Amino acid sequence: MDLRLSPTTLPSTVRPGLVPKNAAAQIAGNTPGSFSGALKSALGEVSAAQNEATRLQREVQLDNPKVSLEETMVAIQKAQIGFQATLHVRNRMVQAYTDIMNMQV
């Protein structure tokens, strides 16, 4: 999983009530370097690793000589580590949201 984020900034000369055309796209997460784009990409990579591990498991169970048990076990471990990392990120994000919602204004 590669989570390189490019910085995106809004212009500092925005007057209240006026939003540049590209700012709405940046806020909505439609830009290539956005947080939501990186998160979707990471989730896609985790899903692909799980699908690959499942495919390799099936091939080993069907006694395919081209697929080794070692390769399958490594793919399973990669998928498991990716899933655990995703779960931790989700838990941190939920905790941060809860903390923000409990702040007094």
pLDDT at 12: 45
User: Tell me, what's the pLDDT at 10?
Assistant: 43
- pLDDT for 36 equals 87
Q: Is 29 left (phi over 0), alpha (psi -120 to 50) or beta?
A: left
Predicted pLDDT of residue 104: 87
> What are the residues whose beta carbons fall under 8 Å from the beta carbon of 7, sequence distance 6 or more?
33
What are the sequence ranges of the domains in the chain?
44-105
- Tokens encoding 33: 């370097």
Predicted confidence pLDDT, tens digits, the chain (105 residues): 555 545 544 444 444 444 445 554 544 555 667 888 888 999 999 999 999 999 999 999 999 999 999 999 999 999 999 999 999 999 999 999 999 999 988
Identify the pLDDT of residue 14: 44
Q: What is the pLDDT of residue 84?
A: 96
